[in-house]
Amino acid sequence: MKINKIVVALAFLLSCTVDGAVMCKGKIERVYKWSDKEFMSVYLGEQNGNRWIALPTKSDEAMALTAFAAGKKVDFYWSAPDVVSCKDGWSNNRVFEGYFQVYAE
């Protein structure tokens, strides 16, 4: 009987795992790059906790610069399991894990 309770408790705990994926929306308000770094960082504004996002590839940077120059809305979908909030959800200049999209409107 005790083993049955343990099995049920473990099944319950395993079914309650938290998915850290989160979608952060807004416009890219600022962009910067240090001369000694390979990556560029973007800033979505205070609604996203004043955190900077480091972009890992040149194609990410090109998309972000296009969105920034045109004033387009973007969505950053974080797939990292430890990012659970857009408000202060990651450390500054954390390398982005996931995908982002740019809106035409």
- pLDDT one-digit tens code per residue, 89-99: 899 999 999 99
> What pLDDT does 2 receive?
62
d(CA 32, CA 5): 55
Domains of the chain: 19-102 (2.40.50.70)
Task: Provide the CA 69 distance to its chain's centre, in angstroms.
Answer: 21
**Tokens 């390398």 label which residue?**
95
| 103 pLDDT more than 80 | yes
d(CA 87, CA 49): 4
What are the residues facing 102 on neighbouring strands? Answer: 74
